[in-house]
Structure 1
Amino acid sequence: MTKILVVDDDCSICELYKEILGSFEVVSACSGREGLELYRKLMPDLVIVDINMPDISGVEVAKEIFKLNPEAVVIVVTAYYQEFESKMLRLGAKEVLGKPFNLKHFRECVAKYLNKGS
């Protein structure tokens, strides 16, 4: 089954992602550090990461993920869209979505990258 890792310090948001992405196996981490540990352990098909987290920022999480796997599929979701969009795309993120995001567009983004090659 397709595995998605969600990294967001708001655990209620992680639960919401699980509901939205119910047709996939969704694993969540409520901190950047936990997200990196789970990424190393599970090597998920897609990662959704928030930028603003207290322990390790989403920027650092993404950098570490790309060191482990330069082909990783990372979607960044942030309330600071304008501030981080170009930086995260240059880093290798496939998409940067501003919060709040359009649910239909979000699902389309996820589907686009998970259906690639199938």
Structure 2
Amino acid sequence: MSDLGVAVVIEDDTDMRNLIGGILLEWGFEVHTASRGREGVDMVRNTSPDVVTVDVGLPDIDGLEVLRQIRQFSNAHIVMLTGRADEPYQLAALYTGADEYITKPFWPRELRARIAAMMGRPRSQTADGHSPRNLG
């Protein structure tokens, strides 16, 4: 496992998936990627990540449904990434369990800053029973 832990990127756009994965890998995460929602949920279940990014518009199931399913078994930090900037959708994602909601396009430093802020917030325990990591 890398210094910052494990990250899962669930994104159907290849370029965006590679960009996000590259940012997280360069930062020190072990990165796993998925191009479909169901695949991403399974990957989260199998890797117990510290951070998950979820695209809202996935080809098989909606990003909110992916979020709902992940929240049933994981306490990972979750960032929703989407081109949808409408407030009702943002609120639905946050109330469903997203820790952050970032509208595309975004700056790589913004993604890192938001993830650092999330990981700095206390969590009682991750789903696998480990204490959360601190980026201090």
> Normalized against structure 1, the TM-score is what?
0.91
Equivalent residue number for residue 72 of structure 1 = 76
Hey, what's the Cα distance between the residues in 1 that align with 2:79 and 2:21? Answer: 15
- CA drift at 1:56: 1.1
Deviation at 1:103, TM superposition (A): 2.2
Q: 2:102 pairs with 77, 89, 97, which one?
A: 97
RMSD between aligned residues: 1.4
Match status 1:7 vs 2:10: yes
Instruction: Say which SS state the counterpart of residue 104 (structure 1) adopts.
Output: helix
Correspondence list, 1:51-66, <5 A? 51-66=56-71
Deviation at 1:43, TM superposition (A): 1.1
Q: Does structure 1 residue 42 correspond to structure 2 residue 51?
A: no
Long gaps (5+) in structure 1: none
Please list every run of 5 or more consecutive structure 2 residues that lacks an aligned counterpart in the other structure: 123-133
Report the equivalent of 2:36.
31
Contact 1:81–1:96 under 8 Å retained in 2: no
- How much has 1:52 moved relative to structure 2? 0.4
| Amino acid in structure 2 at the alignment position of 1:31 | R
Matched AA of 2:104 = K
Q: How many Å separate the matches in 1 of 2:107 and 2:90?
A: 17
Residue 114 of structure 2 aligns with which residue? 109
Q: How many correspondences in the alignment? A: 117
Q: What do the CA deviations read for 1:44-67 (whole angstroms, capped 9, x no partner)?
A: 001000000110111110000011
Aligned-residue identity in percent: 32
User: TM-score with structure 2 length normalisation?
Assistant: 0.80
Query: Which protein has the bigger helix share?
Result: 1
